[in-house]
Copies of this chain bind each other. A is one copy, B any other.
Amino acid sequence: MKNQDKLTRLRHSAAHLLAHAVLELFPNTLLTIGPATQEGFFFDFLPEKNFTDDDLTAIEKRMHEISERDLPITHKHIPKNEARLLYKDNPFKLELIDQIPGDVVGIAQQGDFYDLCRGDHVQSTGQIKYFKLLHTSGSYWRGDKSKQALQRIKGTAFLTAKDVRTFEKRREEALKYDHRKLGKELDLFSFQDAGPGFPFFHPHGKKIINILTNYLRTLLEEAGYQEIATPIMLSDILWRQSGHYEHYKDNMYFSTIDDKSFAIRPMNCPGAILVYKNRPRSYRELPFRLAEFGLVHRYELSGVLHGLFRTRAFTIDDGHIFCTQDQIEQEVLNTIKMTYDVLNQFSFAHITVGLSTKPNNAMGSDELWQKAINALKNALEKADLSYTVYEGEGAFYGPKIEFLIEDSIGRSWQCSTIQLDFFLPENFDLSYVSSEGTKEQPVMIHRAIYGSLERFLGILIEHYKGRLPFWLAPIQIKVLKITDEQTTYAQDLLKTLRQHDIRVQIDTSSDPISGQIKTAQLQRIPWMLICGKKEAENKTVTIRYPDGKQEFGLTIEQILERALKESR
């Protein structure tokens, strides 16, 4: 059995343990569901009154007690009628029972605790040793906000004590470098009551977004992309044609113009498609690569909003490539290279790659899928990448390559994707005239590198623990004067550096140098340039880094050269 499977089984059992402890302490609580997740487990309850942090401590204590009892965990199937009797006072479980196919349902039992369950547990409660309850949050039955409000308790469990310690260390680091906390300290962004889930970028935050955008723009230009800008509101008719209305409307915002319904776009593809379709295209124009820094809006439950990681509005660095089937391999290879070029700028620990192939409900011929998957595999091999194949896990409209990056705290993030699409070209009747004069259908490749710029910024803040590298820092250099006698010298320095687009500021406070250093450190400024009497006389500066390291006697030319090199 793989470790991941063992972990899932353990966490599933830990969810039962949690429910067991809750029922012993709060017998009138109704249980709903409690699955294992990627990071741990949760259980959604309908409690008599909401659990407090103190309750959480008590529940965790009781879980340890039940673990020590080392109760055997059994699983059996019982007739649905019997199960309905067991759950006559729990409408959630009754609903679940009705939806389970067949005449019987599974029941897991440990001591006098039982729960509706498909099975797959550890053998006894004693095997669940290494766990933590994390926090409570609001949720809804079936995740549907029109249904019963519930309370979720989240926790996690591990196979070894060491894993728990690693988890706790990471958790502490993550709390310490939480981008919401750092975002406030560094005055990068805020959230306001007037727009829950919609970030407000303050000057320094917007500066970083602009740096990320412009960096990518340069690469896009070199890679033959053409940038477009399309409307953020479009008619429902279009969203019905694209299939978004049918599959995604619960996550879309709508408005009305002249009595017709419009959606605020949740995705940018239809805009790119309309630009492609605006005039007939020839094979000579393919691959036709469109890029859009496209602002999208998607509904999220207020309970799951989480700083820049999960917002209701964000900007995708969207690329849409229209190409022939024969061009897929080269385009995907180029995209993989560009993805690595970008991600390598940020010193992530690892990048792992997955390839998702044809699912059961796929559209398009076997031949087309085979051709496309071969193209993706060839591209991955030419790029010399090892990758995991996720058989059958592609979207129904085409196979996909995903990149998982690991940050400095050891967490994994999925940002970049390359998604092939046979569906939209068909749906929008896209075509080009081939070299033989025939009308052919192009393939569409959707790809993003940052994914969401907002979320990527959040990841960078935590990954760098607030200390953005020189090229990304909103203020790269702070000039500190020992006394006001160096004011002119400091201003000359500022002027020279600014002429070369270095982002530099002078500390104009009347703080002593130690205070100025402290301020610059709190602001996570990459370089401090200290000007004293000697420096002004010799036309040099002392450079000081946030870790306290100093270099003396550098000339302005040396500083400038180094700054330009670090700025890329």
Interface residues of A (CB under 8 A from B): 145, 187, 190, 192-196, 198-203, 206-207, 209-210, 226-235, 237-238, 253-258, 262, 264, 270-271, 274-275, 278-279, 290, 295, 297, 299, 302, 312-313
Q: A195-B234, A232-B232 are in contact. List 5 more A-B contacts (CB 8 A).
A: A145-B258, A194-B234, A206-B229, A232-B295, A258-B302
Chain B residues near A256: list those with CB within 8 A.
253-254
A199 partner, pick from B187, B231, B299, B302, beta carbons under 8 A: B231
Top 5 nearest A-B pairs by Cβ distance?
A203-B226, A198-B231, A194-B238, A201-B229, A195-B231
Chain B residues near A312: list those with CB within 8 A.
257
Q: Is the CB of B190 within 8 A of A278?
A: yes
How long is the Cα–Cα vector from A295 to B275 in the complex, in angstroms?
Answer: 20
How long is the Cα–Cα vector from A255 to B254 in the complex, in angstroms?
Answer: 6
How long is the Cα–Cα vector from A313 to B232 in the complex, in angstroms?
Answer: 9
Q: Is the CB of B233 within 8 A of A297?
A: yes
Q: Is the CB of A275 within 8 A of B200?
A: yes
Chain B residues near A187: list those with CB within 8 A.
279
Number of copies: 2
Q: Is the CB of A207 within 8 A of B227?
A: yes
Q: Is the CB of B313 within 8 A of A278?
A: no
**A519 nearest CB across to chain B (Å):** 14
**A180 nearest CB across to chain B (Å):** 14
How long is the Cα–Cα vector from A278 to B271 in the complex, in angstroms?
Answer: 35
A237 partner, pick from B194, B235, B275, B290, beta carbons under 8 A: B194
Chain B residues near A264: list those with CB within 8 A.
233, 255, 264
Residue of B nearest to A278 (CB): B190
**Could you write out 10 A-B pairs with CB less than 8 Å apart?**
A195-B233, A195-B262, A200-B271, A202-B278, A203-B228, A206-B226, A232-B313, A233-B264, A258-B302, A295-B295
Residue of B nearest to A193 (CB): B235
**A471 nearest CB across to chain B (Å):** 17
Residue of B nearest to A237 (CB): B194
A278 partner, pick from B200, B227, B255, beta carbons under 8 A: B200
Chain B residues near A227: list those with CB within 8 A.
203, 206-207, 210
How long is the Cα–Cα vector from A528 to B84 in the complex, in angstroms?
Answer: 82
Chain B residues near A313: list those with CB within 8 A.
231-233
A274 partner, pick from B192, B229, B234, B262, beta carbons under 8 A: B192
Q: Is the CB of B206 within 8 A of A228?
A: yes
Residue of B nearest to A238 (CB): B194
Chain B residues near A210: list those with CB within 8 A.
227
Report if A270-B194 is in contact (Cβ < 8 Å); known contacts: A232-B313, A254-B255.
Answer: yes
Chain B residues near A231: list those with CB within 8 A.
195, 198-200, 313
Q: Is the CB of B190 within 8 A of A202?
A: no
Chain B residues near A195: list those with CB within 8 A.
231, 233-235, 262
How long is the Cα–Cα vector from A64 to B415 in the complex, in angstroms?
Answer: 70
A255 partner, pick from B190, B237, B253, beta carbons under 8 A: B253
A234 partner, pick from B198, B199, B255, B275, beta carbons under 8 A: B198
How long is the Cα–Cα vector from A232 to B314 in the complex, in angstroms?
Answer: 11
**A279 nearest CB across to chain B (Å):** 8
Chain B residues near A274: list those with CB within 8 A.
190, 192, 194, 200
